[in-house]
Structure 1
Amino acid sequence: MTYRGRFAPSPTGHLHFGSLVAAVGSWLCARHAGGQWLLRVEDIDPPREVSGSAASILAALPAFGLVADAPALFQSQRIQAYDAAFEQLRAANLIFPCWCSRSDLAGANGIHRDGHCIAPPHPVYPPAWRLRTPDIEITFDDALQGPQRQSLRKLGGDFVIRRVEGFYSYQLACVVDDAFQGITEVVRGRDLLDSTARQIWLQRCLGLPTPGYRHLPLALDAHGRKLSKSDQAFPVDPHAPLPALRHALAFLQLPAAPAACRVDELLAHALANFDPIVLPHCSGHSVR
């Protein structure tokens, strides 16, 4: 099977260093395997989106030598596919409407584990919809972080797949689109490692294939916060890409060609020296 990887940014701002690391890491894995590298814009959460940021990110990537093998897929144009997955789950009685508030779940640390809504139906407000989770352990081998084991009900509980506002969740859209794009390995930040067990369960419920997973270390600020949520998450400059690209390669512990003066030279040197097995496991600081 041909390797197919992807980079799937959310349009919540311009391309920043943490996202560049994920993009470079996923691109290197795909090119090292002789496979394809695809793009997906995860624009299904309008309240969090920043106008113009999707176009800004897509325009910036080629400046860093990161050119996809197909046009970007926009999740906002995939609602019919999510509707179909939702109806498949409802027909199988795997989901249920839920009017529970945060206070209703406060005693369970915000985790719903009942398999049905514990609040009475509201006559006016629409419900969220949750996927029932059985009392099982999900195990998988992450290619970078090693063997993983998660108690699905204890740690994830009955999780939301469609919100009260009608927006589909990241978990559902991600699973449907990874299958649609034929992704064979998901290379993304380590902050999404905890989502993987829920996504694997959703794949099983929908009869979809499970790709491989490789979770990269996160770029942190000086206070240990994820860089994308930090005041230090300044956008990288596509008009002067070499400094940020060198920085991203160094963060991934790849040797950068000291004499390279073009982006293509820098990436070619990195790819020639790339081995996904020796990528760093742990997150680290990124001092700009």
Structure 2
Amino acid sequence: MSYIGRFAPSPSGLLHFGSLVAALGSYFQARSQQGKWLVRIEDLDPPREMPGAADKILRTLERYQLHWDGEVVYQSQRHHLYQQQIDTWLEEGQAYFCECTRKQIKASGGYYLGTCRNKRLTHSDHCSVRLRMDNPVESFIDLRQGEIHIPKALAHEDFIIKRRDGLFAYNLAVVIDDITQGVTEVVRGADLIEPTGRQISLYHTLHQTPISYLHLPLAVDEHGNKFSKQNHATAISDDHPKQDLQRAMKFLGFDLPEDFSDLTVENMIDWGCRTWCLQQLPSEIKIIA
């Protein structure tokens, strides 16, 4: 099977240093395998979106010479696929409506205990939809970090696939999209290690073979906070990409030649594709950038 990777940013803000690390890692891994690199805009949560961010993200990728294959996919245009799968599971009894609130779950120890599993609730505006966890995943192999263990209570929890507010859950959408687009390996930041077990369980529930996962070291500041849109991380520069590009490549373990800054951005990216290897990645999950 030919390699297909992807980069899937959320338009809740512009690309920051952590986003660039994830984009470069996924791009270099795909191109080093002579594979395809897809871009998907994960616009599942309209209230959190920044107007114009999706277009700006794509322009920034182009400025950094990160050219994707095929058409950009927008999750907001794929709601029918997610709902179709949910309807099938509801009909089969694989999913069910749940009226429990976050406050109630927190009071019961922080994990959902299956309270509504056998209540046979019908749809209401106050219900989420949960997946019956018949394929729990307590560990998986990360291509750089090795075996990752997941807390048993979390692995066995019936998790939400559609929220009370009607928005589709990230775990469901990302797996359906990865399957539909033929993605063979996901390369992303270490902040997404925790939901990986649930995503692998969804592959089993959908009778699909799970794909490979590689979690890149997470860039954090001197206070241990990750670079994220929620933490108001500074956007990377479109006008002067070389500095941010070199900084991100060093973070990913590249030993850059002394004259590297003399290259064009296109040549920098080409050099990265030719010299990339997984062994160069730092083994630490979190690194001060």
Q: Which residue of 1 aligns with 2:190?
A: 190
Residue deviations 1:180-200 (CA, integer Å, cap 9, x gap): 111100000101111011011
Q: Which residue of 2 aligns with 1:281?
A: 283
Which shifted more, 245-254 or 126-135? 126-135
| Pair 109,148 (structure 1): closer, same or farther in 2 beyond 3 Å | same
Q: Which residue of 2 aligns with 1:42?
A: 42
Q: Which residue of 2 aligns with 1:54?
A: 54
How far residue 102 of structure 1 moved from its aligned partner, in angstroms, is: 2.1
Q: Which residue of 1 aligns with 2:273?
A: 271
How far residue 108 of structure 1 moved from its aligned partner, in angstroms, is: 3.1
Q: Which residue of 2 aligns with 1:261?
A: 263
Q: Note the 1:203-282 alignment, pairs <5 A.
A: 203-229=203-229, 233-259=233-259, 260-282=262-284
Large movers: runs of 4+ above 6 Å: 118-124
| Pair 104,227 (structure 1): closer, same or farther in 2 beyond 3 Å | same
How far residue 55 of structure 1 moved from its aligned partner, in angstroms, is: 0.6
Determine if contact 2:242/2:265 at 8 Å carries over to the other structure.
yes
* Distance across 1 between alignment mates of 2:198 and 2:98: 18
How far residue 23 of structure 1 moved from its aligned partner, in angstroms, is: 0.1
Determine if contact 2:252/2:281 at 8 Å carries over to the other structure.
yes
* Distance across 2 between alignment mates of 1:220 and 1:190: 11
Q: Note the 1:1-288 alignment, pairs <5 A.
A: 1-114=1-114, 116=116, 125-134=125-134, 136-151=136-151, 153-155=153-155, 157-229=157-229, 233-259=233-259, 260-282=262-284, 283-286=286-289
Residue deviations 1:166-210 (CA, integer Å, cap 9, x gap): 111000000000001111000001011110110111111122331
Letter in 2 for 1:285: I
Q: Which blocks of at least 5 consecutive residues in structure 2 are unaligned? A: none
Which shifted more, 210-219 or 261-270? 261-270
| Pair 156,16 (structure 1): closer, same or farther in 2 beyond 3 Å | farther
Q: Which blocks of at least 5 consecutive residues in structure 1 are unaligned? A: none
Letter in 1 for 2:287: G
Letter in 1 for 2:220: L
How far residue 89 of structure 1 moved from its aligned partner, in angstroms, is: 1.7
Determine if contact 1:115/1:158 at 8 Å carries over to the other structure.
no
Report SS of the residue matched to 2:104: coil
* Distance across 1 between alignment mates of 2:118 and 2:103: 12
How far residue 261 of structure 1 moved from its aligned partner, in angstroms, is: 2.9
* Distance across 2 between alignment mates of 1:253 and 1:217: 10
Report SS of the residue matched to 1:103: helix
Q: CA RMSD in A?
A: 2.2
Letter in 1 for 2:175: V
TM-score, with length taken from structure 2 = 0.92
Report SS of the residue matched to 2:26: helix
* Distance across 2 between alignment mates of 1:155 and 1:116: 18
Letter in 2 for 1:205: T
| Pair 19,69 (structure 1): closer, same or farther in 2 beyond 3 Å | same
* Distance across 2 between alignment mates of 1:135 and 1:183: 21
Which shifted more, 269-278 or 3-12? 269-278
TM-score, with length taken from structure 1 = 0.92
How far residue 277 of structure 1 moved from its aligned partner, in angstroms, is: 3.0
Letter in 2 for 1:197: G
Residue deviations 1:103-148 (CA, integer Å, cap 9, x gap): 2212333321226259996996331001122484433211011012
Which shifted more, 232-241 or 48-57? 232-241
| Pair 108,61 (structure 1): closer, same or farther in 2 beyond 3 Å | same
* Distance across 2 between alignment mates of 1:135 and 1:78: 25
Number of aligned residue pairs: give it: 286
Letter in 2 for 1:249: M
